[in-house]
Amino acid sequence: MKPNYLSTVAIAATLFAGAAAAQPVTFDYWYGLTGDLGAVVAETCNRFNASQSDYVINCVSQDGYEAAVQNTIAAFRAGQHPTIVQSFDAGTADLMLSGEFYAVSQMMADYDITIDWADYFPGISNYYAASNGDFFSMPFNSSTPVYYWNTAHFADAGLTEAPLTWEGMEAAFYALKAAGHDCPMAYAPSTWIDLEQFSMVHNIPVASNNNGYDGLDTELLFNTTLHVKHMENIQRWVNEGLLQIRTAQSGMNARDSFVQGECSIFFSSIADHNTVGKIAPEGLAWDVQMIPTYEGVERHNSVVGGASLWVLSGKTEAEYRGAAAYLAFLATADEQRFWSQNTGYIPVTDSAFQQLTAEGFYAEAPYAGREIAITSLTYTEPTELTRGIRLGGFIQIRSEWSNEIDAALSGQKTMQEALDTAVERGNAILARFARTYAGKTFP
């Protein structure tokens, strides 16, 4: 069933029925995306402002997801926070328990705007909705990880397909190396890919209490699961030169190493699909594939990454009406098409995806391959372990994992020691979060 979205004109009529605004209502939106993706966010604001005359959305980049969240917290204390903030997935639990938001499903109902919330992909909705199905924030720039592979390099190595298992990937590394490609894979440690999404597709826990959904008395478990073997394999592959670390600190990041033809594979968000297509030199032959699983493990769905839009407390009704109009504008099929065409992010609703597919959107370059992300997100129905992660202080937990993995890869400790330390420090963060919100539970 397609969502019964109101047109922009109808939204304006509904929200301003019987009232005439002498001046348009201005409200602020702070977002974290930067570069090409940030420019497209700004364009959605321009498109909204041009589509009607009752509201003006003032969109300001905060130069990164973490900065957007941290700057908003600081602005709250001064009473200068925005009406809408773009918060990444790691900030979800903290915002949920803060109580300083206006749940978007409630806001839309309050202003008689019809959104078919059931149309949102489960791998997306489960991350941002309460247990009763109410959406606290609006899904927006949604992604999932894939890996990018150089099809010409694979052909040189006698390989015709991108492997879907890590055993097959290891064989591909050796074949690529033997064929003269010195950097089979450009590697940048990523908790989102290496830990979180790896655990999702293998249906293994990151933490107790079903990854934190069932209580604040949660402890991390990733030092006891298949994740340990995987990170030990990564360490071995790095030591053997099959994976070469490519980060900003190493001089060239993984994506650029791939685009320049130096490395044959790199892992990233599907959102990079648009950028790779734009910056790739003529003749670069490449494609994308779902992230691998280990043999003998049943593959499960990946989950959403990226960010959602939170409407914050302490604003006027007029500002909330403007926020509702903007979010409803973004939810339309036309705007989902615009967003997907210009970013590489996926549509967030099934109806928009089906419409794009029927129109042949994914049939040819530059968009072909992006449907792989939908396949990954919907590979199975989400389980209690693959619906997402609800961990307080998750931004800091990610940082502890990254610091320890860097230490292991530089030879300072074993991978098991690194993961044990990351879990110990992460558990201290979780314990502080539980004390802060003692007596509360996730909705």
- Cβ distance 5 to 330 under 8 Å? no
Judged by average pLDDT, the poorest of 32-36, 255-259, 371-375 is 32-36
Q: State the distance between the two ends of the chain, measured CA to CA, in whole angstroms.
A: 27
Start-end of CATH 3.40.190.10 domains in the chain: 8-143+304-358, 145-302+387-436
CA pair distance 359, 349, nearest whole angstrom:
16
Percent of the chain exceeding pLDDT 70 equals: 95
pLDDT tens track for 139-150: 998 899 999 999
Q: What is the pLDDT at residue 9?
A: 40
Exposed, middle or buried by CB within 10 Å (0-12, 13-18, 19+), for 198? buried
The average pLDDT across 190-216 equals: 97
- Cβ distance 409 to 189 under 8 Å? yes
165-178 burial, b at 16+ Cβ within 10 Å, e below that, comes to: ebeebbebbebbbe
Task: Find tokens 């044990």 and name the residue.
Answer: 420
Backbone angles phi, psi at 330, to 5 degrees: -65, -30
Q: What is the pLDDT at residue 2?
A: 32
Q: What is the pLDDT at residue 8?
A: 40
Q: What is the pLDDT at residue 152?
A: 98
Asked if the 145-302+387-436 domain carries CATH number 3.40.190.10, the reply is yes
Q: What is the pLDDT at residue 390?
A: 92
Question: pLDDT at residue 76 above 90?
Answer: no
- Cβ distance 207 to 230 under 8 Å? no
CATH topology of domain 8-143+304-358: D-Maltodextrin-Binding Protein; domain 2 (3.40.190)
Which two structure tokens, joined as six digits, stand for 283? Answer: 């003749």
- Who has greater pLDDT, 15 or 71? 71
Q: Give me the sheet containing 243-245, strands edge to edge.
A: 243-245, 183-187, 263-269, 145-150, 286-290
Judged by average pLDDT, the poorest of 11-15, 58-62, 105-109, 133-137 is 11-15
SS3 173: helix
The average pLDDT across 106-127 equals: 90
CA pair distance 375, 99, nearest whole angstrom:
34
Q: What is the pLDDT at residue 22?
A: 63
For 222, 281, 291, 407, 411, the CA distances from 247, given in Å and listed in that order, are: 24, 21, 20, 15, 17
CA pair distance 36, 128, nearest whole angstrom:
25
For 80, 159, 250, 259, the CA distances from 283, given in Å and listed in that order, are: 50, 19, 26, 11
CA pair distance 110, 15, nearest whole angstrom:
10
**Closest listed residue to residue 435, CA positions, set 244, 265, 216, 278:** 216
The average pLDDT across 25-52 equals: 95
CA pair distance 183, 177, nearest whole angstrom:
7
The answer to whether the bond into 366 is cis (omega within 30° of 0) is yes
Cβ-based neighbour number of residue 132 at 10 Å: 7
Judged by average pLDDT, the poorest of 55-59, 128-132, 160-164, 433-437 is 128-132
pLDDT tens track for 408-427: 999 999 999 999 999 999 99
CA pair distance 203, 41, nearest whole angstrom:
33
pLDDT tens track for 322-351: 999 999 999 998 898 899 888 888 888 899
Question: pLDDT at residue 7 above 50?
Answer: no
